[in-house]
Structure 1
């Protein structure tokens, strides 16, 4: 069914333009192939028209203009950089704070930072990119367990990249089957996947059917490439489990996303949940 107009959209993965692509240096330190060295954006081979040359004099204003243009009411952003902290301070009604677990090898440091971010910024979520950690830390690795328990204690979800990573990094740490162990050991943990879960999309929806607190977000995918298994699940038993996430300005423009979006064959009753209601509930925005 066509995407209805006027639905307040919550984007659970959005950011701000930066000069250059230095934010991906942590990935370049780990890749070994020549192609990755030559790409500005480490997964650029997968994306067409990566947003570049965006004005960076006032990056917060740039993102706000894009949000207003496409009806995005609020966006989930990090708290680790100065631009994001400024946005959260000046526009608390538009941006939602989230932290990142950058080095789960430092178990104590990760837990302490997570608690500090909760106390200082009131974070509504945290996130982790297992394939991007170094040494890599798997979704179900022992180092992650204190982080998961802290999320339960703070009553916040964790957004976790799952499936084959875009950058040319080893993928085994992000195998979707690992999520089953985590959900078994932490039944109160709210766990949201990022970046597609490919090629295990069917397993992802089977696990969502099994575990009440497991969700899927559509980050890093242009809507024309949303997996068919995920669309079918949303249209049948999973309307409450699929959450919109973009990828601006990391790899996709909002223009690209919302040009494709009206052609996604969601049922009428799925659209409000997908675009905003599910995120609002998972992030407890009305609490």
Structure 2
């Protein structure tokens, strides 16, 4: 198993030490954050030390972009992380592998634009059933963006078996499907290539 370490921009140096420990001592392969939970957009300066530490540790950071849903009736958080906000981060940290997860809904085209513009920006298609993926995103992952999209489910939000069936229904080219389901994750998370055996053709 390979985990992602959750990060908190309000913890200062403590967070940077915790992240280093999680990667070097516990074997975590990346960082993960939901900017909405902190009511803090991803291009806010409080996040920048974390991005710098991710570069130093050579790990990607995965973050929710798009709208924030209501997970509890008594907790309604603002949506602070439109995909376009990844633009300045990718410019400031060209070495940082950024994964915008949850499709970017309802700004999926904005998420595609960021992944197309920046070599270090990727799209995670989790949290929404694949049958509901926007046509523009399906086209992107089946053509010029097949190397920039990572399959995911946000389990238990989406059952993995259902997700695999619905991805198959999109009839992606075999090469594109292989990249989305496996190869892109191995490139974005290099330690995974060592932990999972190579496929047998």
Same fold, TM-score > 0.5, yes or no: yes
Q: Contact conserved, 2:31 with 2:61, CA < 8 A, in 1?
A: yes
CA distance in 1, matches of 2:139, 2:12: 38
Q: 5 Å matches for 1:114-133?
A: 114-133=19-38
State the shift of 1:138 in Å: 1.2
Query: Structure 1: 5+ residue runs without aligned partners?
Result: 1-94
Query: Counterpart of 2:128?
Result: 221
Counterpart of 1:138 (choices 11, 26, 41) is 41
Residue of structure 2 equivalent to 1:256: 162
Tell me the matched-pair count. Answer: 188
Q: Does 1:170 align with 2:73?
A: no
**1:280 correspondence with 2:183:** no
> SS in structure 2 opposite 1:106?
coil
Task: Determine the C-alpha separation between the residues in 1 that align with 2:107 and 2:164.
Answer: 26
Match of 2:55 in 1: 152
**What secondary structure does 1:258 align onto?**
helix
* Partner Cα distance (1:234, 1:270) in 2: 7
Of the structure 1 ranges 251-260 and 220-229, higher mean CA displacement relative to structure 2 is found in 251-260
Q: Assess, with a 3 A threshold, how the Cα gap between structure 1 residues 256 and 286 changes in structure 2: closer, same or farther.
A: closer
Over aligned residues, Cα RMSD in angstroms?
A: 1.4
Select the structure with the greater relative contact order (CA < 8 A; seq sep ≥ 6). Answer: 1
Alpha-carbon distance in 1 for matches of 2:11, 2:186: 31
TM-score (norm 1): 0.63
Superposed CA deviations along residues 25-75 of structure 1, whole A, max 9, x for unmatched, are xxxxxxxxxxxxxxxxxxxxxxxxxxxxxxxxxxxxxxxxxxxxxxxxxxx
Q: Which runs of 5+ in 2 are unaligned?
A: 71-75, 195-201
Corresponding position: 1:271 with 2:174: no
